[in-house]
Amino acid sequence: MSDSISAEQLRLLIERIERLEEEKKGIADDIKDVYAEAKSTGFDVKTMRSIVRLRKMEKHHRDEAEMLLETYKQALGLV
């Protein structure tokens, strides 16, 4: 593979990454807008973010995390 082909391939890959980063920024802005809308209608955004994070987890990981949280709460007298 010659240097000119490698340079061209590198340039194309970098440009793809840049486009995807720009799309990612746009999506992040859209998500931020949805959270702002939720907040303006009275929803608790911090709790919504927690729910989104939990929904991403597999059930057994979520169950394990909830059990551990309950154990820590009990140890600290929070229940």
Give the global pTM: 0.74
Sign of torsion over alpha carbons 14, 19, 23, 25: positive
**What does the domain layout of the chain look like in residue ranges?**
1-43, 44-79
pLDDT by residue for the chain (79 residues), tens only, comes to 566 789 999 999 999 999 999 999 999 999 999 999 999 999 999 999 999 999 999 999 999 999 999 999 999 999 8
**The token pair that represents 66 in the structure block:** 């909830």
- Asked if 70 and 79 touch (Cβ cutoff 8 Å), the reply is yes
On the 0-12 / 13-18 / 19+ scale of CB atoms within 10 A, 38 is middle
Q: What is the pLDDT of residue 2?
A: 61
**The token pair that represents 26 in the structure block:** 């746009």
Give the C-alpha separation, 44 to 35, whole Å. Answer: 9
